[in-house]
Amino acid sequence: MPFFFFHPLRRRISYRYATLSRTGSLALCGWLALASGALAQAPATPIPRLTPLFPSQNRGQPQGTARLVGQVSNSVGQPVAGAQVQLEGMENPNQPIQTDERGAFELDHAPAGRRMLTVWHPDYEKAEQEILLQGGLTTPVDVVLQVPIRPQPRRRLGILGVGGLEHTQLLGQRLAIEAVRLGLIPNGEKVVPLDNRRIQPILQKVGWPIYELFEWDRRKPEAVGQFFDYLGLEAIVIARVDVLTRPASPTELSLRSRSRLELWRFDEQGNLVVDILAEASRDQVERSNLNAAELAQLYQIQVTQMAAEVGSRWKEHHPLAQYIELAQGEAPPPRSRLDTAVELRIPSATPTP
C-alpha cells in the first residue's frame, strides 16, 4: 500500500497527543498551585526527631579522647586479677589502674591516637601492645599474659607423649597417662607429667615443635638442653606410639601398633643420650567397616595393654629408680612454675581390656 495513504492519519494522532499533553500539564500545574497554597496556610509543625537505633555510649566523652575497655587473661584463658595497666599518655603512679577479679579494666578520657598499652603482674611476663584509639569511641582490647620462662635447676623427671600425626600424638599421651597410672613413673615430687598444649610457650622459645624436638634420627642437643632448663628437667621419658592400618582381606583390617618408652638425658660430659626403656607391640584383625571412633578406641585398648605388659617387666627392677626416689635428707624440688598436667579426654564408652 502506498505510504501517502497513512499521512493524514499520522497528523491527526499527533495533534490529539499534543492536546492531551497540554491538558495534563495544565492540570498538574493547577494541582501544584493549590497544594502550595494549602501548605502556606497550614501551621508550621516541627520535624519529629528520630531516636537512634544504636545510641552512643560515649555522650560524656570530651572531643579528642576515647574510652578503653580490656580483658586480661593468661595463656589458658583464666582471668588475671590484680594486674597493673598503664596507657601511654595517662601515666599516674599515684593511682595505678588494676584489673578486677574478672581480669577486666576500663580507662575513660584516654588520649586518642596510637598508644602503647603495658600490662604486668608479678607472676607473668610483662606484655606490651600498641592500640589505636578513636576519639569519642570505645575500643575493646584483649591482653594475654604468659608464664615467665626462666631456667630452673635440673632436678625433675618429665614424661611426655609424642607422635608425628594427630592420632598418634593422642595415643602417645594415652601411653604417658597409663605409665603414670600403673606406677611405671610414680606421680611424686620429682615427676612432672607434661601436657603438650601447656608447653607451647616453651616450644616457641626453643624454636621447634615437639615432634621435631624429640626426633629419634636427628637429635638437637642444644634445643633439648634449653627445653630441660626451662622445665627444670634432669631427664625426660618420651612415650611414643606408631600405628599401621592396612587391609588384611576384602572384609578385614589389620591393626598394628608399637609402643616405646625412651629416656632422654645428658651424661656427665654433656652429651645427649637416648636409651630405649621398653618396647611392646600389638597386632589384631578386625572387620573392615570400622568407623574412625571405633578404630581409635581399638588402638587405645592396644596402648593400655602394652603399658600393662611393660609394667609387669618392671616389677623387679625399675629402670628409673635413680630419678624417682629422693636421697636421704634430700628435700623435694620446688613446684615447677609451669603448672602442667597430662590431660586427655577418653570417651566414656571406651571398652576396657
> Is the pLDDT reported for residue 19 higher than 50?
no
Q: Please say if the pLDDT value at position 239 is more than 80.
A: yes
For cell 609387669, name the residue: 312
pLDDT tens per residue, range 241-258: 999 999 999 999 999 999
Give the pLDDT mean for 319-336. 62
> What are the residues whose beta carbons fall under 8 Å from the beta carbon of 202, sequence distance 6 or more?
149, 227, 230, 231, 338
pLDDT at 306: 95
In this structure, are residues 265 and 235 in contact, taking their beta carbons and an 8 Å threshold? yes
Cell of 28: 498538574
pLDDT of amino acid 301 = 95
Lowest mean pLDDT among 36-40, 122-126, 211-215: 36-40
pLDDT digits (tens, 9 = 90+) for 280-303: 999 999 999 999 999 999 999 999
The number of CA neighbours under 13 Å toward the Cβ of 109 is 4
**Predicted pLDDT at 285:** 95
Burial of 192: CB neighbours in 10 Å, binned 0-12, 13-18, 19+: buried
- The whole-angstrom separation of Cα 154 and Cα 169 is 26
pTM score > 0.85 for this model?
A: no
pLDDT at site 168: 93
User: Where does residue 28 rank: exposed (0-12), middle (13-18), buried (19+ CB within 10 A)?
Assistant: exposed
> Minimal CA–CA distance to 228: which of 197, 272, 261, 187?
272
- The lowest-confidence range among 123-132, 197-206, 234-243 is 197-206
Between the CA of residue 162 and those of 7, 59, 289, 320, what are the distances in Å?
Answer: 98, 56, 28, 19
pLDDT at 269 over 70: yes
Structure confidence by residue, pLDDT tens digits, 59-96: 444 557 899 999 999 877 889 999 999 998 887 766 77
Rounded Cα distance, 238 and 224, in Å: 12
| Percent of the residues in the chain that have a pLDDT greater than 70, as a whole number | 72
What is the DSSP code (8-state) at residue 327? Answer: P
The string of pLDDT tens digits covering residues 199-218 is 888 898 899 999 999 999 99
Given a cut of 80, is residue 113 above it in pLDDT? yes
Predicted local confidence at residue 192, as pLDDT: 82
239 vs 5, more confident: 239
pLDDT average, residue stretch 124-131: 91
> Listing from the earlier edge strand, what are the strands of the sheet with 104-111?
104-111, 65-74, 138-145
Q: What is the mean pLDDT of residues 31-35?
A: 41
pLDDT averaged over every residue in the chain: 78
Mean pLDDT value of segment 116-132: 92
Radius of gyration of the chain (CA): 38
Tell me the pLDDT band of 329, cut-offs 50, 70 and 90: low
- Provide the percentage of residues in the chain whose pLDDT is more than 90: 48
